[in-house]
Amino acid sequence: MFESILITIATAATPLLIASIGELVVERSGVLNLGVEGMMVMGAVTGFGVTLATGSPWLGIFAAIAVGALFSLLFGFLTLTLVTNQVATGLALTLLGLGLSGMLGEGFVGQPGIKLGNLDIPFLSDLPVIGRLIFGQDPVFYLSILLTVGVAWFLFRTRAGLTLRSVGDNHGSAHALGINVIGIRYLAVMFGGACAGLAGAYLSLVYTPQWIENMTAGRGWIALALVVFASWRPWRVLAGAYLFGAVSIGQLHAQALGIGVPSQLLSSLPYLATIVVLVLISRNRRLTMVNTPASLGRPFVPDR
């Protein structure tokens, strides 16, 4: 019982974590992409459709990553090359993704899906309590943890990561130093899109292996909020995603037990808890200030 709750928590947290880590990299480069929800839902429908057609969930996942990146490329072209307003363009991307995925997925509704299999390491997976939690999950779960470690290492331990942070801090200075601001932002935006696509595919291939219209159900927005409340730091994003996952699974169990609290209040608990905790840990304003990308959302037009 306890073990299965832990596993459902991990499953609920993983798509949030992947989408947030992607968006974190985007925002660290100074771009605000509000289209996470749209890219996620496109990833979900692509992953499901391709898996259905080919029978291989792996192909579905790769297709979802590609579609997410491609979709974000559209955002990049509009905001970086044509310098449209990032907020409006991001919102449009979300609306476009929701509509387009509904249309593409019309034939998939009600079709049985194929679930991406779990890892099964003999002996280790059979350990009590932690066996399945640590050694018997789906591969994307491990990937999400690797992604967090990798992004944390990239941002704070490599020269390329330093360059990316510098672009987000002050794009004017970065340009004056000869750094290719637009190029770096394109790469960051596409990384964010790929992550959102993967997170979407996780929903339709692992979390609930089926296609339902609007199946992301606001998770893209949660991911965006997590990035801000985690003050743009990868490990805090991980903590936030798992906290959110834990409280949302916990409140489901509480509702099932029928305790005398209105279900609406219980349903809002994950949001409340995540906000409260992340606000508490980001009380150190100095650290927050240093980690906030100062150029976030500001349009950049180099003068030549």
Partner 1 sequence: MTATLETEGGNLLEVRGLTKIFGTLKACDNIDLTVGRGEIHALLGENGAGKSTLVKMLFGSLEPNAGEIRWNGQVEQISSPGAARKLGIGMVFQHFSLFDALTAAENIALSLDDDTPIATIAAKAKALSYSYGLPLDPYSLVGDLSVGERQRIEIIRCLLQTPQLIILDEPTSVLTPQEADRLFETLERLRSEGKSILYISHRLEEVKRLCDRATVLRHGKVVGHCDPRKETASSLARMMVGNEVQAVVRDPVQGMDKAAALLEVRNLSRTPATPFSIPLRNINLSARAGEVIGIAGVAGNGQGEFFEAVSGEVQQQDAANVRIRGKDAGRLTISGRRLLGAAFVPEERLGHGAAPRMRLSENLLLSRHATDRKAFLGTAGTVQTRAIATAAQRIIEIMDVRKSGPDPEAAALSGGNLQKFIIGRELDRRPAVMVVNQPTWGVDAGAAARIRQALIELARSGSAVVVISQDLDELFEISDSIAVMHNGELSKPLPIAEATFEKVGLLMGGAEPGHVEPVAELA
- Exactly one of 172, 214, 261, 268 binds partner 1 (CB under 8 A); that residue is 172
Q: How far is the CB of 254 from partner 1 (least distance, A)?
A: 40
Q: Is residue 170 within the footprint of partner 1 (CB under 8 A)?
A: yes
The two tokens of residue 300 are: 């950049």
The answer to whether 18 and 199 are in contact (CB under 8 A) is yes
Q: Is residue 162 within the footprint of partner 1 (CB under 8 A)?
A: yes
Site size toward partner 1 (CB under 8 A) is 24
- Which residues lie below 8 Å from residue 272, measured CB to CB, with a gap of 6+? none
The two tokens of residue 12 are: 């609920």
Q: Is residue 286 within the footprint of partner 1 (CB under 8 A)?
A: yes
User: Which residue number, 173 or 267, has a Cβ lying nearer to partner 1?
Assistant: 173
The two tokens of residue 40 are: 């996620």
Q: How far is the CB of 168 from partner 1 (least distance, A)?
A: 9
User: Which residue number, 67 or 152, has a Cβ lying nearer to partner 1?
Assistant: 152
| Secondary structure (DSSP) of 225-270 | HHHHHTTT-HHHHHHHHHHHHHHHHHHHHHHHHT-SS-HHHHHHHH
Q: Is residue 289 within the footprint of partner 1 (CB under 8 A)?
A: yes
Residues 141-160 that bind partner 1 (CB under 8 A): 159
Q: Is residue 290 within the footprint of partner 1 (CB under 8 A)?
A: yes
Q: Is residue 283 within the footprint of partner 1 (CB under 8 A)?
A: no
Taking contact as CB under 8 A, which single stretch among the options 31-39, 87-95, 216-224, 281-289 is the one that binds partner 1?
281-289
Burial of 272 (0-12, 13-18, 19+ CB in 10 A): exposed
Residues that bind partner 1 (CB under 8 A): 159, 162-163, 165-166, 169-170, 172-179, 285-286, 289-292, 294, 303-304
